[in-house]
Amino acid sequence: MTTVSWVCSYTPRELFRALGFGERRLWGVDPRGSALPHLAANLCGYSRACLAQASGEERPEVLVVAGSCHALIHLYAALQLEGLKNLFFLPLPRLGASEAEEFFAAVLRRLAEELAAVRGGRMDEERLKEELRVGVRERREKIRLFREPVSGFSRYLYLRGEGKDLTPARSGFPRLALTGSPPPPRLLQLVEECGGCLAVEDCCGAYRDLYFPEVGEAEDPFLTLARLYLRRPPCPRMVGDRARRFKYLQELIRDFRVEGIVYHTVKFCDHALYELAAVRRWAEKEGIPLLWVETEYGEPGEQVRVRLAAFVEMLAARRESL
């Protein structure tokens, strides 16, 4: 079975399955030591890691790159220069208005036609409707993990398809929410090693990618698909939905009894860095302690460990004083 690879969680996987493709997300490989002549060193580490993976031994059969940010647009251009075959670009709106949904539906219909041509077939809209229902059931099943007492690190690996065992969560420790840029798994492990309990991972490979809204089925399944993905909890790149983003974060704090936020940015991630200032102001207003950590989408380093340990210690002392 031909597999379609993708790099952003706003990419509708139901579309690929309805066309008979397998699908997988590229999480990237360590770009250090790789020759990446088409991307500057001061570009987002996630994009560089994906280029290293896609241009190396794991060259994708088919790849869809969403225009989520400037770094991924540069990734698409770099892969064109690498001569990657069956490479497709997915334009992505920055807000969830009805006009944006109609635009995105048209974009998805065109993408379906282009992908169908790879296999020499055509899209069956009834099958797409069925895959939409299957996707809803799968997300409902997976999101239950966030109500189970399991380690956030093991849960994150499991949802990424990189781990099978779910280990018990730490009880009695400060409860944290992780948000911002896609984190390297080692960061989550480090949070728990420093004495924190990851109550929820608001990442595009975790809770945010599962907490989809209920949307009625439109006559056009592509419009249903567009609504489903654009009405999900917004990530930092959805600058037109900032108010909805804060409302969602408020719900996370309440529902998961969060005592502190770890805001992670990949170095040079413009969207997360722009949002950080707004989230900091919001967290201060809400009385929620926030720690900002930055990585290069790899090993966090000893400085991050020290700061995480101090943050968790502060939260523990704060809990005792309340």
Give the pLDDT confidence of 97-132 residue by residue, as tens digits: 889 999 999 999 999 999 999 988 889 999 999 999
Predicted structure pTM score: 0.93
Last residue of a domain, one of 108, 132, 156: 132
Asked if 204 and 317 touch (Cβ cutoff 8 Å), the reply is no
Q: Indicate if 192 and 219 belong to the same structural domain.
A: yes
Where is 46: in which H helix or E strand?
helix 45-54
Residue of 187, 180, 172 lying closest to 315 (CA atoms): 172
Same domain for 95 and 208: no
Helix runs in 120-267, H state only: 125-143, 152-159, 185-193, 221-230, 242-255
Percentage of residues in the chain having pLDDT higher than 70? 98
Handedness of CA 18, 92, 296, 303 (dihedral sign): negative
| Residue indicated by tokens 């929410």 | 177
pLDDT confidence of residue 34: 62
Same domain, 205 and 156: yes
Task: Give the residue from 283, 251, 236 showing the smallest Cα distance to 10.
Answer: 236
* 299 vs 99 pLDDT, higher one: 99
Are both 189 and 310 inside the same structural domain? yes
CATH number of 257's domain: 3.40.50.11900
pLDDT of residue 26: 94
Expressed as residue numbers, the domain containing 162 is 148-321
**Number of domains present in the structure of the chain:** 2
Which domain-ending residue is among 132, 160, 178? 132
Arithmetic mean of pLDDT, 200-220 = 89
Q: Looking at the structure, do residues 44 and 116 belong to the same domain, yes or no?
A: yes
The residue with tokens 């599962």 is 210
Q: Is residue 141 part of a domain?
A: no
- Report how far residue 70's alpha carbon sits from residue 226's, in angstroms, rounded to the nearest whole number: 22
d(CA 26, CA 57): 13
- Are 214 and 71 part of one and the same domain? no
Which pLDDT tens digit goes with each residue over 23-61? 999 998 877 656 577 888 888 899 999 999 998 877 899
Same domain flag for 172 and 279: yes
Residue 72 domain-assigned (yes or no)? yes
Residues 197 and 306 in one domain: yes
CB 20 within 8 A of CB 80: no
253, amino acid identity: I
Q: Are residues 98 and 232 in the same domain?
A: no
Task: Let me know if residue 139 belongs to a domain.
Answer: no
Beta bridge partners of 270: none
Cα 43 from Cα 276, distance rounded (Å): 18
Lowest mean pLDDT among 5-9, 123-127, 168-172, 174-178: 168-172
Residue 318's H or E segment, with its range, is: helix 302-321
Residue 113 lies in a domain: yes
Chain centroid to CA 268: 17
Domain presence at residue 142: no
What gap in Å lies between CA 55 and CA 59, rounded to an integer?
6
- Domain for residue 140, yes or no? no
Is 137 part of any domain?
A: no
Sign of dihedral through CA atoms 111, 97, 211, 9? positive
* Residue 16 domain flag: yes
Nearest to 182 by CA among 266, 249, 241: 266
174 and 306 co-located in one domain: yes
DSSP β-ladder status, 62-66 and 87-90: parallel
Helices 185-193 and 152-159 meet at what angle, rounded to 10?
170
CATH code, 25: 3.40.50.11890
Last residue within a domain, chosen from 73, 103, 132: 132
Q: Are residues 231 and 119 in the same domain?
A: no
* Shared-domain flag, residues 166 and 107: no
Report which of residues 161 and 89 the model is more confident about: 89
pLDDT confidence of 200, banded at 50, 70, 90? very high
